[in-house]
Structures are given as C-alpha cells and as structure tokens.
Structure 1
Amino acid sequence: MPIKTCIFDAYGTLFDVNAAARLAAAEPGRDALAAVWPQVARDWRLKQLQYTWLRAVAGQHCDFWQVTQDGLDWAMEAAGLDDVELRERLLALYWELPAYAEVPDMLAELNARGLQAGILSNGSPDMLAGAVESAGLGEFISASLSVETVGVFKPHASVYDLVEAHYGCARDEVLFVSSNGWDAAGASGYGFTTAWVNRAGEPMDRLYAKPHHVLTDLTSIPDLT
C-alpha cells in the first residue's frame, strides 16, 4: 500500500535534545556547565530513555516530564554540578527545544504532497504542545499522539496502536520515523514502514526487527513516500 501518513518521534528526531545543555552552556556565568555540557546532554538523554524502559517493564508508569527531571538530576550529579538555578534553567530550555534545521522544509514538502504528518511520542501532551509551538511547526503537524493515552512508554505495541486508531489507516500505509534505533525497530516489528535517522552514525541495534531505511537526517523523508 502507498504511504499516506508520516509519523515522527519527537525528541531527538524533530527536536534537538542536546540544545538545552548547549544553549545554557553558552550563557554568561555558566563556566562549570560549559566544561562538561556534552557529557551532561549525553547522560541526560540516556537516563531519560533508560528510565522509560525500566518503568515500562516494572509497570511503574509516570509522565515523561518526571523521567526528564530524574534523568537531569542523575546527569548533573554525575558531572559534579550542584546548582538549583542551573537545573531550573535547563528544564525551562527543554520546553523550548529547537527543531533540526531541515525539519520545516521537510514537513512542508510532505504537506504539499498531500501527506499527513503527525507525532507519536513518549512526551506528555503539554510537553509536545509546547515543543511544537516553540519550534513553529503547528501548521504542519496534524496530531501529537502521546503515550499518556495508554499509560506505558514505547516500544509497547499499544503505543503504536494509537496511530491506526487516530488516523484510521492500515499499518503498511504508515511511514514511522525515529532517531532511536530501538524505536524504529519496534515500529518495524509492529508493521510500519520505518526510517531510522541515525545522526550519530551508531551501529544497528540487535533486536527482533530492523528499520527499513537508515538516514543521516530528515531531508530525504518525502522521497520515501
């Protein structure tokens, strides 16, 4: 079946999750963070994801904002940063993450071709609404679907079910795009056509399924439809 709907993961796929630490580190008086911000950004993201998996396995769900805060607290402690004001600044910036440079034109091209573009994310509804508005993507995104509807994080199948339920499309009519290899693999196993945006050039995850396409950025997404 031809692709009718393009669904994107949000954080790390459309929105630059490293930007909060990078932007804060560039502010005056942030010398301590400036010396370690790549480590903070990396650890923050890693722990954020690990906590979603562990909570899903344990049946201890909370919203994504909680694991975002918990991940930052771990990352700051690991970097030796004990600064309440800095913590609040980093969290505030997380609500204003910029989109990657190619995102607006890519989404505009999808819309011009008559394709719907939506988000399927671990993010809570208010976080997603803030990110979409801050990045100026509202005119391109038809829906932001959150795991909060089902109360478990990706890659649980009930999360991917939200796409079919909302759009009324068959699985093979969906192109699912994620910067997380495990997420793209999960969506492949579910039955979506998938693209892994492997910006960091990481190895393929050894999982039960693999992404159909591997890209370095989002520019060529319209050509996969």
Structure 2
Amino acid sequence: MTDIAALKSSVMVCMFDQYGTVVDMQGGLRDVAAELLRAKGWAGDPNSFVTWWRRTHFENSMIDALLQRERMAYRKIGELSVRQVMDRAGIAHTEDEVCALVGAIERLRCFPEVPAALDRLRTRFKLAVLSNGDPDMLERAKPYHGIPFDAVISVAEANVFKPHRATYEMAARRLGVTMDQVLFVANHEFDCVGAKAAGMRTAFIDRRRRPFAHWPYQPDLIVSSMTELAELMA
C-alpha cells in the first residue's frame, strides 16, 4: 500500500495527460461525430465509431514512434486515422469533414469534477500537462478547458509519442525536477505504465472501472476520479 504522506512530501509536480484525463475526449467527440454520421445516414453507433477512431489513432501513433523518423504531427495522424475508419465503415467523406472531426479535439471540455479538483491540488503542487497533442492544438484548447496550468508540454519536443520514456524525461527536465518528484496522472493504462517505467510516480484515474493489468509498473494510486485524487493528495 502506498504511503500517502511520503508521496505527498516527495512530489512537487502533478502532471496530467490531457486527452481523456483532463478533457472528456470520448464524450465530446461522440457528440460531434453523431451529428455528422446522422447527416450521412450511417446507422451505426457514434460511440463505437469514436472508440474505433481513437484505437486506430493510438495504433498509428505507435507505428510512427517505432519508425524512429521525424515525428508525424498528432493532427496528421488523427486525419489519417479518421479516413481509415470511415473508409473501412463505408462512410463517404470529404477532406473538410475529416479535418473538422479532428479539429473538434481542440474544443473539448473538462470532465465536470476536474476544475475544482485541480484548484485543490494547485494549493500544494505545480500543475502541468504532458500531451501527445501538437503545440498549436494544445494552445487552441486552453480557452475551452479553462485550466491555468503552470506548463503545457507537447511530446513534439521529444520527437516521439508517449509512452516512450524520452517524453517523460523531457517533461521533467523542462520543469527542473527529478523524475520521482512528479506524480503523473492519467486515465490511460499505457500512460501510467510509461511514466512509472521512466521513473515517475503515477496515479491511475479509473473512470471506466477497468482492472489494471499485471504490469511490473503499477500505479502508486488508483482512484475513481480527480476528486478522489485531490482528497488524497491536497
């Protein structure tokens, strides 16, 4: 069991994944996609469409990382993935429609409990984002999520996508802290595994009530929401 007092005394920065942890990516994109798919007469489930899109995006970003070439922009991988899913689903589409769907990522809103929880955490820690998103996408997102983070960092600076260890190491250097002075917070298992393997402390936001696989890199905390995280840490 994690010693909460020791964790609180050693951590200086709470660092968050943005898409799906701070902002509601699944719900927000589902609402946008539903309108487009309905207009096209597609009879499938918009939630399943978005799940398929997001999984394809993750797979394509991991392919890109393994190529060890210049990192492909998150936006371009998003467009590649939306085209791929729409082609496979037999949904006719234009380039403008593809770009509009991916552009909706910039306008996602926070999960309801996030602003208050982060306000509590801010009284004790610096707050930062480390995201696979492109710098311009993260900048455009700020008015929509409304969270005044101390730093918003894109993996573009490391030229590779999370969960590559170089992304977490770069973010810690940017903030002038050691790896174990960071509590990395994510709703995604892969991100918690990556951050923990790189040397950070981690908190898994288990919104979807899914068991964490038996990795050797287990999170220090498993909580049901940002509110619970704030109650433990702030």
8 A contact 1:182–1:207 mirrored in 2: no
Unaligned stretches of 5+ residues in structure 2: 1-8
Separation in 1, partners of 2:18, 2:157: 16
Q: Structure 1 residues 34 and 92, CA, compared in 2 at 3 Å: closer, same or farther?
A: farther
Root-mean-square deviation (Å) = 2.1
CA deviation digits over 1:115-169, x for unaligned, max 9? Answer: 11100011111111112222222xx201111111110111111111123212212
8 A contact 2:23–2:111 mirrored in 1: yes
Q: Structure 1 residues 76 and 215, CA, compared in 2 at 3 Å: closer, same or farther?
A: farther
Query: How many angstroms does 1:32 deviate by?
Result: 3.1
Other-structure match for 2:140: 130
8 A contact 1:160–1:190 mirrored in 2: yes
Other-structure match for 1:194: 202
Q: Does 1:87 align with 2:98?
A: yes
8 A contact 1:184–1:195 mirrored in 2: yes
Q: Does 1:11 align with 2:22?
A: no
8 A contact 1:6–1:117 mirrored in 2: yes
SS of aligned partner of 1:66: helix
Separation in 1, partners of 2:219, 2:98: 36
Unaligned stretches of 5+ residues in structure 1: none
Query: How many angstroms does 1:175 deviate by?
Result: 0.9
The partner residue of 1:98 within 92, 99, 109 is 109
Please list, as runs of the form range in 1=range in 2, the aligned pairs for 1:149-164 lying within 5 A after superposition. Answer: 149-164=157-172
Q: Figure out how many residues of one structure are paired with residues of the other and give that number.
A: 222
Percent identical among aligned pairs is 27
Other-structure match for 1:145: 153
Which structure: greater helix fraction?
2
Separation in 2, partners of 1:70, 1:27: 18
Q: Does 1:46 align with 2:41?
A: no
